[in-house]
Each structure stands twice: as C-alpha cells, then as structure tokens.
Amino acid sequence: MRFTAAATGLAVTGAILIPATLASAASAASAASAASAQDAPQPSAYEWSSVAISGGGYVPGIIYNPTEPGLVYARTDIGGAYRMDDDSGQWVPLLDHIGWDDWNHLGVLSLATDPVETNRVYVAVGMYTNDWDPYNGAILRSDDYGETWQKTDLPFKVGGNMPGRGIGERLQVDPNDNAIVYYGAEEGEGLWRSTDYGATFAKVESFPNAGNFVPDINSGNSYLMSNLGVLWTAFDPASGSNGEASQTVFTAVADTDDILYRSDDAGETWEPVEGAPTGFLPHDGVIDETGRFLYLATSNLSGPYDGSDGEVWKYGIDDGSWTQITPQQRPTGSDFGFSGLTVDRSNPNVLMVASQINWWPDILIFRSTDGGASWSPIWDYDYSQADPFVVRYEQDISEVPWLAFGKQPGPPQMWAEPTPKLGWMVSALEIDPFDSDTMMYGTGATIYRSDDLTDWDDEGGVISIAPAANGIEETAIQDLVAPAGDLDLVSAMLDLGGFVHEDIDTVVNTFQAPYFGGGTSVDAAGLVPEVIVRAGTDGSGAHIGVVSQDSGETWTASPAAEGATGPGTITVSAHGQAVVWAPAGADARVSTDGGVTWASVEGLPAGARVESDRVDGDLVYGFVAGAFYVSTDGGQSFTLTDDSTLPSEGNTRFAAVPGTPGELWFAGGEDDGEYGMWRSADAGATWARVSGFEEADTIGFGKAAPGATSPAIYTTAQRDGVRGVFRSIDGGDTWTRINDDEHQWGWIGADIEGDPDVFGRLYIATNGRGIVVGDDTSGVERQSWTSSATYTTGDIVEFDGRYWAASWWTRGQEPGGSTGPWQEVETAPSGVAVWTASRTFAKGDVVVDPDGVLWQAKWYSRGQQPGASQWGPWEQLD
C-alpha cells in the first residue's frame, strides 16, 4: 500500500467560479465596479490550520532528543517535519514556509536534534534524486527548535521520497563537539561533514566507500536505479570529551560486502569494521553507551516496500566482537528484513526491533530484556499452549477510524490479516529515552504510541496501542468541494480515497460502501448540495464513479470503467439530475438516474476534465488539450466552442460561477506556453484574460463579503511577480495576497475552494500537507450608515442589520424601500442573489425568493416581486 506520491503525479490544476452578476442598472453597475476597484476592503490577518485527518502518509523517522525530556521530532517523505508539543500532544509542522519554487524541500530524508544545544535541529531536504525532481537538495538548520530556518544548498540531489528513505538517520550531531554535523549522501556523493553547525559542508575525502547498492539496476525505471549511498553515522560518546570531537565514529554504507566503517581519529582515517556481517543493508544502528555495544538491524533490500530477509547483530565497541541476535520467531514461516531499532536508555538491556515489512498478516515487533539473547514477539502462534494465538497488544483506532481501510475492525485472529493492522514500513521505532513506558513507531499511514510498554514484560502482559499523529497531515489532495449547508467539505485524495467532513475539526472515516483506495474527483450539485459525486479506485482496483443523494450517507456505484487508465473527473449538474463522468483514457458517460445506469456521451474526447454550471442544470462543460466544450442538454452531448485561446498543456482547472449561469473562470498552463487566468461570460464561447497574473493554477469561490455583489474569489497564482494565495472580494477587480512567506506549503496547484457558508474561509489542497484551512480573522468592516456622510456609487454600508450598496451619489437618504439610491444586497449560500425589493436586476440575472424558488429576469427589474404577476419580468427556473 502506497502513501506518498510524486508532485508530478499530482498535477491537477485549479478551477472554479466567478462572482454572481447582481447588477443594478447598467450605469450603476459599471460605476460600482470602478469604485470597488479603488476602495475594496482588504483582509489584514489570516489564521491557518488543517482539516482533521490525522496522518495519512509514511513517517520514516521519529527522533527523540537524548538530553531534553519531551523533545521529539518526526519526519515525513513528502510532507515536511514536525515537532511534538509536549503539553498538548499535538505535532507542530515546521516546514510550512517551503514555497512553490522549492517544493522539493518538503521531502525530508533525515533529521538530527542536537544533544548539547537542544534548541538546534537539522533536516536534509529534497524529494527525488532522479529526473522527477530538477532541483538539488539542501540542509536546513534552526537554532529555535524549528521555528525559523537557514539553508545550506548542497551540490547534489536529496531523495526524501526515494527507495531506502527509512534508513538512517543520515544526519548526525557529534555529542562531544556539537558544531560537527555529519551527512551521508546518496548517488555516490559520499560522506559530508560540517564543523560550523551546518552553515557549510565539505566532503570527507578520506571516507573510502560511497556505496553501490541499487534497488533494481535492470528495471529501466530511474526511481529504482538510484544508488542508496552513505546511510548513517553513530558516535561513541566515550571516545571524546566536552568540546572535542568524538574520536570513534561509525558510518554505514549501502554496500552489502562492506556495510560498516570505523574511524578512531575523529574521521581523519577510516577502515572497514572487521567481521561485519555481509549480504545485507544496515538499515539502522544504535549505540548502547552503557553496555558498549553497537546494535545493527539489517535487511536484504532497500525498503520501504520490500525486504524478505535480514539479521540483527550487536558489535562490541571495545573488543570488536560480533554476535548475531536475530529474533527467530517466524509465525507464518515467511522471512523478512529488519529496520526499526531502539534501545531503552533507562534500561540498556532492553531493546526492540521491527520487521521492515511483513505484508501478511502483519508486521512483527520484537522486544528483548536481556540484550538480544532472547526475544518476545508482539504476536505469535505458540502451539504448545491451549490457545496458540499469543497477542501482547490491544489496539484502539476509534479516534482515527479510517485506519481500518474500509474493513470492519475486530480483534486479531489466527491466520487472518487483522483490522486494524499494526502497520507496515516500520523504519521508525523509538522508546522515549526518559520514559521506559512510552514507545512510538511510524508506519505507512500514521504514528502509533504505547504508554504502558513495560506491561509487555509481565507474564501474559498486554500493551495498549493507539494512533498518535494528531497535527500530522500528510495526505496528497486531488480535489475538493465545499457544499452549502450542513457539510463542511468533501475531498478526494490519493491512497485514502477521501472524506465527507461534516466538521473539519473532527477526524472521520473515509468513503465507505464503496471504499476507495484512491480518489481523484468530487463534486456537489450547485443548487442541491446533498447530491454528491466522486470518482476513484475501489478496493479491487476498479475505476468507478459513485453518486450520493443524501450527503454521503449512502452511495450508488457505477460499473468499472473498462479500459480506463484512471478514475478521471466527475461532475453533477446544478439541479442534481445528471452526472457526467470522464474516466482517464476512456469515453465519457452520463447518468440521469442517480448513477444506476450510464450512457455514452457524444462529442467529448476521452480524458476531458468535466465541470457543471452552478445554476443552469442543462449546462455542463468539458476541457481537454486546449479545447473547450459545452453541453446544453445535461451532458448528453457536447459541442466544441473554443480551441485557440486557452492553454493546451500544463495543469488546468476551470469551473462555473455560483449564482450566475454561463459564467466561468479558468486557471492553468505551463512555463513555456500560455499560463494564467481567463474568464468567460458566455458559457465558454469566448474568453478574456485576467490581467496581472503571470501564472495561475487554481481558482475557487466562497461566500461573498458582507454587502458584496459577487462571491469571494481565491487562487494560488503568481501575480505581479509574487507567488502566493490571492483573494478578491470585488469580482476580480482587485486582489490581495492573503498568505505570507511562513505559510506556503510547497506545491499547492491541485485545488482551492472557498466556503459558501463562512465568509473568508478557504481550503487549499496540498501535495503532502493535507488540506490547509484559512480563516480571515479580521473580516471586512463595513461602515454604518449615517445621515451626515456623503456616499458615492459602490459604497457599502450597514443599516438595521442589513447591507446596502449605493447606486449613485447620496447624502441624508436613509436606506430602505424599493426606490432611491440604496440597494439591499444579500446572497444565498448557493451564490444566487436573494431577491430584495430595492435591488436592480438585469436581463439574465438569477434570484431566489423567500420560498427558495429560482427565478431569472427577462428584462430590467426593480421592486417587482418574482411570481407576483405572470406578465412580470421574472421567469421561474426548473
């Protein structure tokens, strides 16, 4: 099971919607627009948080500081690094400042915490060493526990998401002279050392072996053809004194013939360690200072997904002796390698080691209280007992129910895969150096924790294990939709499938019945938000489209899309009656009976992105390779409208404006071609470029600002040379960057959505940092109407608890009534204008009346209530 993905594989662009046309008379509308462009209120502060998912990806490293109680870090392969807040038990993200251009720095290959000046911490960052990533890596250093960072660029790549990323730690701080930091590099780049707290690094030229192990040299896949290089370093603290470098240093390399080297002169000269085991990779090494041993966990392959054999050894630092201490229990007969390894610093005779991988039925964790002479497995089949299934743990995932991965949780049983599993890809396994009862280990999906670990040692003892990843958000998001009403957010993501969040602060279960192993697209009907659709890959590997009529309580699944290469995109019409699904690499199809049956779509090429109008139930749109298509019959057939204006390559997103039929915004492109933002007012027949944006990747819409006549617009883009998250509250006339340099989250080009119920709230899809939530803490202040003030066209005031917009110059005229200079402005969560007697509407405008019925203006109107006369200006919409 895979829980990370390349950014290149997540290259969906941004899409979405434009302000509703709540026009007054033509002259007033144009004047109001001009005024708002000059005087639009701007947000002053945003607070950033995350939608509660809790984990979701591989945690290859958990690193305790050995001298400061409660100080512990975690590293992830594509989602940055975290520090636990000891008071709250929450993990705090440390690398959210990583921006668009250095997105690869969210891949963390190693982390080191300084044992002397414990405020210091280092991370080695970079995503790939192959051609997926064009950038070199770096060492980031902090002297305030990761609050702020300085960077040292490296002259080579770093592979935080490459094979072997659970091996290590490659970064190590000398406990005697903490200005000395070692780093083991990949791809034959050797061993590197800093003597100035990581400010500069130089290659250790005397180190003789740069490693030679390649996961699969004959694969033709550059991802599997990388040299794992130099793996980790361990210092013997007793070989030095305070302020002087440790003399004895061990460094492991990815060379199955010579896995371990030793220096006894502070790294000046090196020799292979005599008698070291061969045939395996040294995944982890831990020094027991009291017993004077170096423990090794080895596996025959790089991990994290593989490893079918391995051994555990202990080496006498003083006498050079080697003793194999490999646990012998193999309950199902299959072998496995070892990776996660830890020694109890409070009781060094206690050590633990984990199988690197053991897919079926589950991983094994072993515990020894006698220095490895004997071991107790966390589960075993012991046929000498009346009940041969011996289990030393209880596991509770009630706080993170999605860890059942679509199955029904239950107690573990013999010869069966348990639900939940203990995990997989366990390279991080650590006992708290100050608390023998506390253990944490990382898996491909979360961090688990036990706080009664020593109960294991009692006769029949059982420990408690529960998720402990609160604050870590490591999902790769593909699509989002924020329906109006009771639901907060619906998401589609790799590996976990996606979620229906009624409350974004509560961890919930993933999509069920059917469960998704990966989701690519979600949508909700613009006018009937309880109708939700999703596309993804189910537990059997089939690409399917799924429809819910009840806000995700129950679902109707399509047949598998035969011949499809992926789930593609899916959309539901504004009235919820038609669903169009375009699987990747296969023909699009449409359902008009809630997903029970499906028919072929005419005129839309395979692989198109599909989106629906938010108001007109007959309008559905498609885009592929620079060509834009429209359907006027609910997705039954499509017609090409434009193939010469929009970008033909790169990440692209588009969508319709809530509240305004036929109005669209488009974002996307690539550096070497067309790139930016466009808008259409005629259902995609013509497009005009939005000025100021050199690049734009996502676009979304949310609740209008108080008194505004159009939804708030959000985008991740580059505007006037600045990359960021931008917002407009005046229909796109003016824009403000609402994030800052400390909140950037790497590559955020998949999706952005505004909340239709909460002004100022937005959701950002990230590649490895989950779903970021932004809340405007300052809001938009509107002045209260006073009789002495002078107002000009477009000014917005609050009066009697309602918002009013000036249609022309006025002074002393109190807002109210159906005539005069003031228009009462109100917008429904759907984005549709609420009809008010004082507001002017132009031909084509759509409003909702007090009974929730939609009406469209046939001509200019003010003060004429919809439905009051069959001869009036309003036509009821279906």
Radius of gyration over every alpha carbon of the chain, rounded to an integer in angstroms? 30
495 a catalytic residue: yes
Question: At 836, is the secondary structure helix, strand, or coil?
Answer: coil
Cβ atoms of 768 and 80 closer than 8 Å: yes
Give the total residue count for the chain.
Answer: 878
* Catalytic residue from among 77, 177, 255, 613: 77
Give the C-alpha separation, 807 to 839, whole Å: 10
233 bridge partner residues: 251
Closest residue by Cα to residue 42 from 666, 712, 715, 859: 712
Cβ atoms of 67 and 84 closer than 8 Å: no
- DSSP string of 41-109? -----EEEEE-S--B-S---EEEE-SSSTT-EEEE-SSS-EEEEETTTTEEEES-TT--STTGGGG-EE
Count CB-CB contacts under 10 A for residue 490.
27
Give the C-alpha separation, 373 to 565, whole Å: 52
Question: At 239, is the secondary structure helix, strand, or coil?
Answer: helix
Looking up tokens 């707290």 gives 197
DSSP assignment letter at 559: P
Give the C-alpha separation, 717 to 738, whole Å: 12
Q: How far is CA 838 from the centre of its chain?
A: 45
Tokens at residue 319, please?
């006498």
Closest residue by Cα to residue 470 from 453, 489, 447: 447
Give the C-alpha separation, 578 to 593, whole Å: 7
Tokens at residue 271, please?
């020799």
Cα-based distances in Å from 407 to 170, 274, 426, 560: 37, 50, 22, 21
Handedness of CA 802, 806, 807, 812 (dihedral sign): positive
* DSSP H helical ranges for 552-605: none
Count CB-CB contacts under 10 A for residue 578.
23
Count CB-CB contacts under 10 A for residue 613.
29
Cβ atoms of 449 and 59 closer than 8 Å: no
Looking up tokens 């200079």 gives 821
Handedness of CA 615, 621, 623, 626 (dihedral sign): negative
Tokens at residue 363, please?
């991983």
Q: How far is CA 867 from the centre of its chain?
A: 48
Q: Pairing mode, if any, of strands 790-791 and 783-784?
A: unpaired
Give the C-alpha separation, 209 to 226, whole Å: 16
Closest residue by Cα to residue 139 from 164, 176, 175, 169: 169
Cβ atoms of 445 and 423 closer than 8 Å: yes
355 sits in which H/E element: strand 351-355
77 a catalytic residue: yes
* Catalytic residue from among 284, 362, 488, 495: 495
Q: Cβ contacts of residue 450 below 8 Å, gap of 6+?
A: 393, 437, 438, 439, 440, 463, 464, 465, 466
Upstream peptide bond of 208 is cis (omega within 30 degrees of 0): no
Give 111-164 as a 3 state SS string: EEECCCCCCCEEEEECCCCCCCCCCCCEEEEECCCCCCCEEEECCCCCCCCCCC
Looking up tokens 């617009």 gives 713
Tokens at residue 458, please?
């009692």
Q: Which residues are catalytic?
A: 77, 495
